[in-house]
């Protein structure tokens, strides 16, 4: 994946250096924070990328290694950059190579920190020392070619800087130009080198099913922290995202370096501080059980690794990531379509779907303003529970005797579009597909095939499996008027073998599987350009910049409890835009934990992301339906700001905080939306004054209360400065209360 092509305005030769000035596609409302252009400057043996508020520079040292020079706030164009000179080693025991801040290292010459690339040759040689060969700039991408000092292993590093955010994309292509196959045992996109310091705190996201995106912090100290997935997919135990802040940085202030990996298979990000206080962040394929056989002439492209920095604290770091996703990563970037309000049948019906029941739900959904009706699991094969049917993507004739057409026609007649659930990478042993092709699953010959949710993982790396899955989905989309698929993935890998290929090629499955998933998504999007796709994996198990490049939205968690969601969403938005963060209003008491909350509270929680409804609407009262209709109409009026605006996390719900608040501001600062929540009142304290952020201090904003009550003296019109400094007093008492207020520039 690369940034979409930017147009080259002109190239100039200046005193033997080459400077390319490229005009960015994202020269929009961010004008205040960047100049809308990216600069790549190749001066002798120093390479410099400038964009927005960032300068990134590295060069070739006297040994031929690629050495980091600077990654920080933007410098003046004519500022002198230090010549890269390898620092002297301090002692024999650590070897001089270990103190050089290299951009990309092969494992060789006594390297002890995390290498970027490790290769085994057929003769047993495992020493790899990469030195600079050449550079070029094409389509806004700086390519640096490196080669082993003796053998023809050639690595092309790619660098690209996003004009809007200053976020740099890195990836590497490893090419085997020798005459024999080699095994690549570790390959990263590259290593980010932070300014030398012992003043850092690492923030990362970790979780589990129904508890995704918990925020953790730990000091960066000598040693290594590894964030990873070994499970074949992105996973929810760690998110492929990191942030390293100065110890004094907080949500609103201070320096933060951050990044995210675009890969939906097993991945690793290693954050390491060596004895010389050098902090390195290396990310790419997970080296555990990795061994990619690279034939002569073949190449392996690593995932892309994106990273940026800011002086504006964690909040600004998140907003930069959000902007990158909206303008560069998502399939509809730079102008993703606002997410429609959807209804999903899962929590209402489970597997018990049929024509009449779905139509009854659709009619209720349409009456409250839902725009997309999605039928979840249970419509195909012999799928009455999770024990059977996966893999057989034909409509169940008992549940839908006339096919899907009557339901889809009714949904259309009600003014909604139609979406459907699939889980294409899986198969139940009790399915026609498995009975016909038991060899199509990941397995190791003679070993048990461990089940997860009664299912196995199809080996998508196999060309025949890839073809089957593509054909099944293509047929479904070609034969039915389907606008949306929810692409689910409900178990992690076990026995990741591929017996049909020679033993030394079997581990290629870690890469080829994911590439084929991406390939199917790409082909489907190409053939059915109007179909939108959601990435779901038992909740938020497959949320990463790789899958987000090919899907329009993601499902953050199976936990739809509106209070738990506040915390899950707080973690989610550290790394990802609320524009893709689906959030359903479900029934009370919550099926997750039995907690009861008002319908208004549940709506307000979900309205901070991309709103959906997942309740059993046939049981809602007339008053519930009226409340839902009102709040859905309100949501439609604010969704552009919520989904595509700038998010300010005013008060985090983390750590059991009694109150929390978020605010979204439209890019032109004309509109803002405030959501405030009270978990539980204690000792009669009033709700703390909420002070907004990100408004134009000189503009005047009119306030409108969508839900809740304000203190009597609250003005209805005041300046941005007033709302940001005096703030707003909200009257909230009791438990699980919510307030929503809009601010519109006059």
| Identity of the residue, 187 or 582, whose beta carbon is nearer to ligand DGJ in the bound complex | 582
Decide: is 555 part of the binding site for ligand DGJ (CB under 6 A): yes
Q: How many CB atoms lie within 10 A of CB 118?
A: 21
C-beta of 584: minimal distance to ligand DGJ in Å? 9
Q: How far, in Å, CA of 405 to CA of 407, rounded?
A: 5
φ, ψ of residue 470 to 5 degrees: the values are -60, -45
| Identity of the residue, 323 or 486, whose beta carbon is nearer to ligand DGJ in the bound complex | 486
Stretch that binds ligand DGJ, among 185-193, 281-289, 325-333, 533-541 (CB under 6 A): 533-541
Decide: is 536 part of the binding site for ligand DGJ (CB under 6 A): yes
C-beta of 426: minimal distance to ligand DGJ in Å? 10
Pairing between strand 735-745 and 304-310?
A: unpaired
Stretch that binds ligand DGJ, among 316-324, 436-444, 535-543, 569-577 (CB under 6 A): 535-543
Active site residues: 488, 558
Q: How far, in Å, CA of 597 to CA of 586, rounded?
A: 10
Decide: is 389 part of the binding site for ligand DGJ (CB under 6 A): no
| Identity of the residue, 67 or 490, whose beta carbon is nearer to ligand DGJ in the bound complex | 490
C-beta of 416: minimal distance to ligand DGJ in Å? 19
Q: How far, in Å, CA of 379 to CA of 351, rounded?
A: 8
Identify the CA nearest to 226 among candidates 172, 190, 267, 258.
267
**Which tokens in the block code for residue 113?**
């920190």
> For ligand DGJ, what does the binding mask look like between residues 344 and 383, x meaning CB under 6 A?
--x-----------------------------xx------
Interaction with ligand DGJ in 412-441: which residues (CB under 6 A)? 421
| Identity of the residue, 556 or 667, whose beta carbon is nearer to ligand DGJ in the bound complex | 556
φ, ψ of residue 201 to 5 degrees: the values are -125, 135
Q: Coil, strand or helix: which one is 273?
A: strand
Q: Whole-angstrom distance between the N-terminal and C-terminal Cα of the chain?
A: 42
Stretch that binds ligand DGJ, among 84-92, 212-220, 532-540, 651-659 (CB under 6 A): 532-540
Q: How far, in Å, CA of 599 to CA of 629, rounded?
A: 12
- The answer to whether residues 356 and 369 touch, using CB atoms and an 8 Å cutoff, is no
| Identity of the residue, 160 or 212, whose beta carbon is nearer to ligand DGJ in the bound complex | 212
Q: Look at the alpha carbons of 230, 233, 234, 238 in this order and tell me if their dihedral is positive or negative.
A: negative
Q: How far, in Å, CA of 511 to CA of 273, rounded?
A: 29
Choose, by CB under 6 A, the member of 538, 573, 641, 662 that binds ligand DGJ.
538
In the complex, residue closest to ligand DGJ by CB: 377
Decide: is 490 part of the binding site for ligand DGJ (CB under 6 A): yes
- The answer to whether residues 447 and 399 touch, using CB atoms and an 8 Å cutoff, is no
By CB under 6 A, the count of residues binding ligand DGJ is 11
C-beta of 209: minimal distance to ligand DGJ in Å? 9
Q: How far, in Å, CA of 29 to CA of 302, rounded?
A: 33
Decide: is 587 part of the binding site for ligand DGJ (CB under 6 A): no
C-beta of 556: minimal distance to ligand DGJ in Å? 10
| Identity of the residue, 102 or 213, whose beta carbon is nearer to ligand DGJ in the bound complex | 213
CA distances 717 to 18, 641, 692, 746, Å, are: 53, 20, 14, 9
C-beta of 606: minimal distance to ligand DGJ in Å? 14
C-beta of 421: minimal distance to ligand DGJ in Å? 6
Q: How many CB atoms lie within 10 A of CB 276?
A: 14
| Identity of the residue, 238 or 538, whose beta carbon is nearer to ligand DGJ in the bound complex | 538
Beta carbons within 8 Å of 15's beta carbon, 6+ residues apart: none
**Which tokens in the block code for residue 294?**
């690279």
Residues found in the chain = 746
| Identity of the residue, 396 or 538, whose beta carbon is nearer to ligand DGJ in the bound complex | 538
C-beta of 350: minimal distance to ligand DGJ in Å? 8
Binding residues (CB under 6 A) for ligand DGJ: these are: 346, 376-377, 421, 488, 490, 536, 538-539, 555, 558
């Amino acid at each position: 994946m690369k940034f979409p092509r930017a147009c080259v305005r002109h190239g100039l030769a200046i005193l033997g250096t080459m400077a390319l000035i490229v005009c960015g596609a994202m020269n929009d409302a961010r004008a205040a924070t960047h100049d809308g252009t990216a600069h790549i400057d190749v001066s002798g043996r120093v390479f410099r990328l400038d964009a927005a508020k960032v300068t990134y520079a590295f060069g070739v040292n006297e040994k031929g290694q690629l050495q980091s020079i600077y990654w920080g706030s933007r410098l003046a164009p004519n500022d002198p950059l230090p010549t890269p000179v390898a620092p002297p080693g301090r002692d024999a025991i650590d070897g001089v190579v270990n103190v050089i801040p290299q951009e990309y290292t092969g494992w060789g010459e006594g390297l002890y920190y995390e290498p970027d690339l490790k290769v085994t040759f057929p003769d047993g040689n495992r020493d790899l020392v990469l030195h600079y060969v050449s550079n070029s700039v094409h389509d806004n991408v700086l390519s640096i070619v490196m080669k082993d000092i003796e053998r023809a292993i050639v690595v092309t590093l790619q660098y690209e800087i996003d004009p809007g955010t200053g976020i740099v994309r890195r990836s590497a292509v490893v090419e085997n130009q020798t005459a024999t196959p080699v095994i690549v045992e570790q390959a990263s996109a590259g290593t980010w080198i932070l300014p030398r310091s012992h003043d850092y705190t690492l923030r990362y996201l970790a979780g589990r099913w129904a508890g995704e995106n918990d925020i953790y912090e730990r000091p960066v100290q000598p040693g290594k922290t590894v964030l990873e997935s070994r499970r074949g997919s992105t996973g929810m135990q760690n998110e492929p995202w990191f942030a390293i802040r100065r110890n004094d940085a907080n949500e609103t202030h201070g320096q933060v370096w951050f990044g995210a990996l675009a890969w939906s298979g097993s991945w690793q990000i290693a954050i390491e501080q060596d004895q010389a206080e050098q902090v390195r962040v290396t990310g790419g394929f997970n080296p555990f059980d990795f061994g990619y056989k690279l034939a002569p002439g073949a190449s392996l492209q690593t995932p892309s690794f994106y990273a940026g920095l800011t002086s504006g604290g964690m909040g600004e770091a998140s907003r930069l990531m959000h902007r990158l996703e909206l303008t560069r990563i998502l399939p509809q970037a730079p102008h993703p379509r606002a997410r429609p309000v959807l209804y999903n049948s899962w929590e209402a019906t489970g597997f018990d779907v049929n024509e009449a029941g779905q139509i009854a739900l659709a009619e209720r959904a349409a009456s409250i303003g839902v725009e997309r009706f999605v039928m979840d699991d249970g419509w195909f094969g012999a799928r009455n529970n999770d024990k059977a049917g996966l893999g057989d993507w034909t409509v169940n004739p008992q549940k839908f005797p006339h096919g899907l057409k009557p339901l889809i026609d009714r949904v259309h007649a009600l003014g909604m579009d139609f979406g459907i659930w699939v889980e294409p990478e899986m198969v139940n042993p009790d399915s026609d597909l498995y009975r016909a092709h038991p060899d199509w699953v990941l397995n190791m010959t003679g070993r048990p095939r461990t089940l997860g949710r009664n299912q196995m993982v199809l080996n998508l790396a196999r060309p025949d499996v890839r073809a089957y899955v593509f054909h099944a989905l293509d047929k479904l989309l070609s034969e039915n008027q389907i606008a949306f698929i929810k692409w689910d993935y409900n178990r992690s890998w076990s026995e990741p073998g591929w017996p049909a290929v020679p033993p030394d090629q079997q581990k290629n499955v870690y890469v080829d599987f994911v590439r084929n998933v991406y390939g199917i998504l790409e082909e489907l999007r190409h053939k059915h350009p109007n179909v939108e796709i959601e990435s779901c994996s038992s909740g938020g198990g497959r949320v990463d910049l790789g899958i987000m490049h090919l899907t329009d939205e993601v499902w953050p968690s199976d936990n739809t409890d509106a209070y738990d969601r506040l915390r899950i969403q707080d973690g989610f938005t550290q790394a990802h835009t609320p524009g893709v963060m689906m959030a359903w209003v479900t029934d009370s008491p919550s099926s997750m934990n039995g907690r009861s909350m008002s319908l208004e509270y549940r709506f307000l929680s979900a309205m901070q992301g991309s709103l959906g409804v997942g309740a059993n609407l046939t049981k809602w009262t007339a008053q519930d339906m009226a409340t839902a209709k009102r709040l859905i109409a309100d949501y439609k009026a604010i969704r552009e700001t919520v989904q595509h605006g700038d998010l300010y996390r005013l008060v985090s719900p983390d750590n059991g905080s009694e109150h929390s608040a978020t605010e979204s501001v439209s890019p032109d600062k004309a509109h803002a939306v405030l959501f405030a929540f009270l978990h539980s009142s204690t000792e009669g304290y009033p709700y703390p004054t909420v002070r907004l952020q990100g408004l134009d201090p000189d503009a005047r904003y009119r306030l409108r209360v969508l839900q809740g009550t304000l203190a009597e003296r609250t003005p209805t019109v005041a300046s941005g400065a007033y709302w940001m400094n005096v703030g707003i007093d909200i009257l909230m008492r009791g438990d699980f209360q919510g307030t929503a207020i809009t601010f519109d520039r006059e």
